Structure 1
């Protein structure tokens, strides 16, 4: 697991979201290692099928916390921040589109691996795993964008009263 620095935000609401990013990144690193395993040239089909099942299980375990985190952002955080910075253009539009893109990659992976690995060729397995790899890439960049643009914006823009209300709403578990 990569070492992480101290949390950088001071607002409790942003610290909650930042901490959730850390947890989700930890889970992602676990399943991304399996994605990287598939980049080897020589993989036996039986090994690939076993590793695909491991990857599928890890992603299924990841999706619960991810969905809870995303729901918190889309239900509480983005609507509040949008009242300050707008909804029609700007960073919130792109961030929300990335949520849909991530959901699409993960959904595509899960759909194509739903019938089990026993019927898939190595080519089919690799194609499905590429979707998981794309989800990892988009998520990684997405977290960076939120932590370098959206969260600092919220810390500076939101009123003290809104920060407190948001903190109360976000203070729930994603596990």
Structure 2
């Protein structure tokens, strides 16, 4: 599968490694959209006095999402980012931003899962919203993050990496 990306007015065809990662974004976005809709609805229905059940439903979705997200981000953290960082550095610029966003999204996701898993007492709408905001923040960060990878980082990787490096990258991401 090959994707076309537009980067700085130039169309870049993504090879197998970057195409796989972009395809994973499609699947992750589908899960995020469902979770985001549910998270945004939490606390909004005045007829519900205890939000624990809906928070638990969202928590289960978040746990499933977390598994797929962690596999995807491991491929990027362990292989993609280091390969591109050899050319552009890691301390500042796109790689630093991508790594920071991975940490921020994971922190929000973990906070939501933890807080939603500790509910022993009834949860009112205000408390439920305070918990759901972690899931909303996770989805917001990742939505922007995926777009940056697809519009900037993946095309940059296609241009910077040699054919051999791209072949090696494809093999490495298959191991995760």
**TM-score using structure 2 length:** 0.88
SS in structure 2 of the partner of residue 45 of structure 1: coil
Q: How does 1:70-81 map to 2 (within 5 A)?
A: 70-81=73-84
How many residue pairs get aligned? The number is 167
* Moved segments of 4+, more than 4 Å: none
Aligned to 2:173: 170
Q: Does 1:44 align with 2:48?
A: yes
Distance in 1 (CA, whole Å) between partners of 2:120 and 2:22 is 35
- In structure 2, do the counterparts of structure 1 residues 67 and 158 end up closer, same or farther at CA, with 3 Å as the change threshold? same
**Could you say which structure has the higher strand fraction?**
2
Cα separation, 2, equivalents of 1:145 and 1:10:
15
Cα deviation, 1:133-170, whole Å, max 9, x if unaligned, reads 01110010000011111001001110000000001111
Residue 159 (structure 1) aligns with: 162
Q: Is the 8 A contact 1:16 1:171 kept in 2?
A: no
Equivalent residue, structure 1, for 2:31: 27
Retained in 1: the 8 A contact 2:17–2:173?
Answer: yes
Equivalent residue in structure 1 for 2:112, among 109, 113, 117: 109
CA distance in 2, matches of 1:60, 1:172: 22
1:7 aligned to 2:7? Answer: no
2:100 is the counterpart of 1:97: yes
Q: Which runs of 5+ in 2 are unaligned?
A: 5-12
What's the CA shift string for 1:26-47, capped at 9, x where partnerless?
111121120121263635123x
Match of 2:149 in 1: 146
What is the aligned-residue RMSD (CA, Å)?
1.8
Supply the distance in 2 between the matched residues of 1:117 and 1:13 (Cα, whole angstroms).
Answer: 45
Against the structure 1 CA distance between its residues 41 and 54, is the aligned structure 2 distance closer, same or farther, given a 3 Å change threshold?
A: closer
| Matching of residue 131 in structure 1 with residue 134 in structure 2 | yes
1:82 shift after superposition: 0.5
Question: Structure 1 stretch 144-153 or stretch 34-43: which is displaced more?
Answer: 34-43
